[in-house]
Structures are given as structure tokens and as C-alpha cells.
Amino acid sequence: MSDTATSASIDAFRAETRAWLQANCPPEMRRPVVNEDDTCWGGRRWKFQSDAQRQWLERMAERGWTVPDWPREYGGGGLGKEQVKVLREEMRALGCRSPLDSFGIWMLGPALLKYGSHEQKLEHLPKIARGEIRWCQGYSEPNAGSDLASLQTRAEDKGDHFLVNGQKIWTSYADKADWIFCLVRTDFSAKKHDGISFVLFDMASPGVTTRPITLISGKSPFCETFFDNVQVPRGNLVGEMNRGWEIAKYLLTHERNMIGAIGDRGASRPVAKIAAAKIGLDAAGRLDDPLLRAQIAGFEVDETAFRALMERAGDLARQGDINPAFSSVLKYYGAELNKRRFELSMQAAGSDGLEWEGERSTDGALARAWLRTKANSIEGGTSEVQLNIITKRILDLPGA
């Protein structure tokens, strides 16, 4: 369907989509996400948590609905933006979980669609869409975080391949990922933004090692990643040599949109429902804690406003009328909202929320998730850096 679909065809699409989701989304996949295992990341080594999780991924992937807006030839659903919006609305209405979460979908896919060769798209995009290959992001280094363009990982041009040496850090899920999209320096004499290239390689390549780092939550979602004479075939260079910074920045706008979207998780983590289950309702059917009720109501108003803002950003993007730096607005505010959501959930849970370990699989999940949200305003570029970008590129403030 195209973007110029009529309202009658949209209505028909909505009815069909609703019926299909009702028939195909297993009931277990309509329950709120409770812990990290409820999220399906896919990949060669992925172990499904249940048959329902597997079925849900397979059914959605078969329709191309893990990436509904990607072209069909690359494993997508070929839907227009209006249809994608309808699909998301209907999934939200039924409480459907995302069938597949992945850096391939959120970050690499959009970058490959714009900058990859046809062969690279055919090689990588369908595997991302089906959840067969899990990707990680090799951007940050010990001395290149906010100042990412200072990265020093070196890739020497050896003709048919590059020889990569260096270290990345904070590489999320590097120990679980199959492939990496990686920023490397290919010209040390050029200005720092001009000597960077964007390459892809298999994490099973000889010379790649990872060392997990433990977070405050007790979990280890990221690693130090080392490259020791790793041979990367020349065909794995995306775009032009030494022009990787442009791709890196484009990918970051998608990463920031994705992180921003965690601000709008009402369907899978409804705070009011979690609070009602813990605290109970009064005779009028309202949350039996007036203070918390008011805070949650305020939060839900802001969450709804944020959802509207994201939709508006999507509409403007469709018209090609959005400042790319707007992703920093979404990232900044979405991160703050998600942190607030978990503060409220912890408040609602009371002392139970502090439980760290126990016999049930959900024990400790809330406290760990709450602590994990502290990183939302760091990952994908810190809040301070987003505010710098907003003052400079959107507000055009003097001296910015």
C-alpha cells in the first residue's frame, strides 16, 4: 500500500490488521513485559523463552512486520507510513509485545537502506528482519564517548581487506552479538571527522574478543571489545572510504529516536496497572493512594503528550520537513520520562520493589530495571550532549 492510501483503504487495513493480530498474537505475547527475558533479541545463539515467543516472531517475520516499513525485497512488509502507524496502534490496543527488538532494526537497517550497496542490503537486511543475526554497535572508545570523532581504532587498507586493531567500550551485548557495525579510522592525517570509515564484520572473526562489564543493576549488558589484527573483507565497507562520519551521524539519529521511544512504553509497562495491582483500588475504583494517583496522572498526561510529539515528528519526517537534530529532543525527553516511569513504579511497589533476589523469576526485576533506566540519559549520547545539540542546531542560540 502506498502513502496516498484513501481513508476507506486505511479502514479496511485496520480491520484486517486487528483480525490478524487477534488470531495470531499468542495470549502470552499480550502480557506486559516484566523482565529482560521477555524481550526477543534474536541471533544465532538466541534461546527462545517460550514457544509463544518463537511463534510470534515467526508469524510477524513472515509478513515482514518485524520491519513493516522496509521494502519487501529486503524482508520488510512494504507498508506505507500510514499503514505502519495503524499497525502500531492496533498492536498497542491489544497490548502486543514487540516480536523482535534489535540494533539491526533500530540502527543498522536504516543506515544500510540509505548508504548500503544493493548486495549489502540483500545480504544483511533479510537476516535482520527474521531475527537471524544479532548486531552490536562499535562506536565508543575509552577516549571517545561524547567526543566520538576522536576514535582511534585503526583499519589499515590491505587491498582486498582491512586490518583492524583497537578497542571499543560499552559495546552493548557484544558477547551475544553475531556481527558488529563499527567505526574505524582509515586516515590518521585528515581532520578527525574526515578519516573515519564505517565497516561491518563478523564477531566470530579471529582477533575479536569481548570482556563483559557489570552495571549497577548487577547485570552485564555491555562489554569492552578488543580487535587484534582482525581481517575485514573490503566488501564490508559501507559507503565511501573516509566518509563514515556521515553514516555514523545518520545512524545516531535513528538510535536517538529509538531510545526516545522508551518514553512511550505505556502499552507494555502501564504504571497505573502496576500500581493498582500493588496498592489496590478505593470504593470509586481509583488507585487507593491520592498522592501517587496524582503523580501517575501527571506522568500519563506527559506520556500522552510525548506520544503525540513522536507522531508529529513522524509526520514531519514523512514530509521531509524535520530538522535531523529533532531526534535529540525525543532522546532527551524520552529518557527522562522512562526514568520517571520507573521512579513511580518503585514508589508503587513499596518495600517489595527493593527485593533483589528470590525464587520467582520476577524477583528483583523491578529494582534492576529501575537501576537500568539511570543509563538512559547516558547511552546514545548523554543528556548534556543532546541539550548542546538542541541549543546549537534547533534553537540557534548565540554562542552555542
Ligand X SMILES: Cc1cc2nc3c(=O)[nH]c(=O)nc-3n(C[C@H](O)[C@H](O)[C@H](O)COP(=O)(O)OP(=O)(O)OC[C@H]3O[C@@H](n4cnc5c(N)ncnc54)[C@H](O)[C@@H]3O)c2cc1C
Q: Which stretch binds ligand X (CB under 6 A): 36-44, 53-61, 304-312, 377-385?
A: 377-385
SS3 state of residue 160: coil
User: Of 379, 386, 389, 390, which one interacts with ligand X (CB under 6 A)?
Assistant: 379
Question: Contact letters (x/-) for ligand X, 115-154, by CB under 6 A?
Answer: ---------------------xxxxx----xx--------
Residue from 382, 391, 392, 393 binding ligand X (CB under 6 A): 382
Closer CB to ligand X, residue 129 or residue 248? 248
Burial class of residue 131 (count of CB atoms within 10 Å of its CB; 0-12, 13-18, 19+): buried
Site for ligand X in 1-60 (CB under 6 A): none
Burial 15-46 (b: 16+ CB within 10 A, else e): eebbeebeebbbeebbeebeeeebebbbbeeb
The x, y and z cell numbers of residue 319, run together, are: 514530509
Instruction: Give the nearest distance from C-beta 174 to ligand X in angstroms.
Output: 8
Closer residue to ligand X (CB): 5 or 258: 258
Taking the complex as a whole, the smallest distance from the CB of residue 135 to ligand X amounts, in Å, to: 10
Binding residues for ligand X restricted to 168-227, rule: CB under 6 A: 170-172, 222
Q: How far is the CB of 124 from ligand X (least distance, A)?
A: 18
# chain residues binding ligand X, by CB under 6 A:
20
Q: Residues 6 or more apart from 366 whose CB is under 8 A from it?
A: 342, 345, 346, 349, 353, 355
Q: Which is nearer to ligand X, 77 or 381 (CB)?
A: 381
Closest distance to ligand X from the beta carbon of 259 (Å): 10
User: Least Å distance between CB 225 and ligand X?
Assistant: 9
- Told to check if 385 binds ligand X by CB under 6 A, we report yes
Q: Which three cell numbers stand for residue 75?
A: 524482508
Q: How far apart are CA 258 and CA 264, in angstroms?
A: 10
Q: Which residues, listed in sequence order, are joined to residue 101 by a DSSP beta bridge?
A: none
Is residue 325 involved in binding ligand X (CB under 6 A)? no
Looking at the Cβ atoms of 40 and 107, the one nearer to ligand X is 107
∠ CA 150-152-158, nearest 5°, is 135
Relative orientation angle of helices 365-373 and 326-349, to the nearest 10 degrees = 150
| CA R_g for the chain | 22
Q: Which is nearer to ligand X, 65 or 170 (CB)?
A: 170
When asked if residue 102 is in the footprint of ligand X (CB under 6 A), the reply is no
Q: Cite the beta strand spans of 280-364 per DSSP E.
A: none
In the chain the first and final C-alpha atoms are separated, in Å, by 44
Smallest separation (angstroms) from ligand X to the CB of 335? 11
The nearest distance, CB 165 to ligand X, in angstroms, is 17
Q: Does 378 bind ligand X (CB under 6 A)?
A: yes
- Does 342 participate in binding ligand X (rule CB under 6 A)? no
The minimum distance between CB 372 and ligand X, in angstroms, equals: 8
258 vs 292, beta carbon nearer ligand X: 258
In whole angstroms, the minimum distance from the beta carbon of 338 to ligand X comes to: 12
Query: Which of 58, 282, 352, 384 is close enough to bind ligand X by CB under 6 A?
Result: 384
Q: Read off the amino acid at residue 125.
A: L
Q: Which residues contact 145 (CB under 8 A, 6 or more apart)?
A: 170
**Phi first, then psi: what are they for 99, rounded to 5°?**
-70, -25
**Whole-angstrom distance, CA of residue 114 vs CA of residue 134:** 20
Residues lying near ligand X in the complex (CB under 6 A): 136-140, 145-146, 170-172, 222, 375, 378-382, 384-385, 388
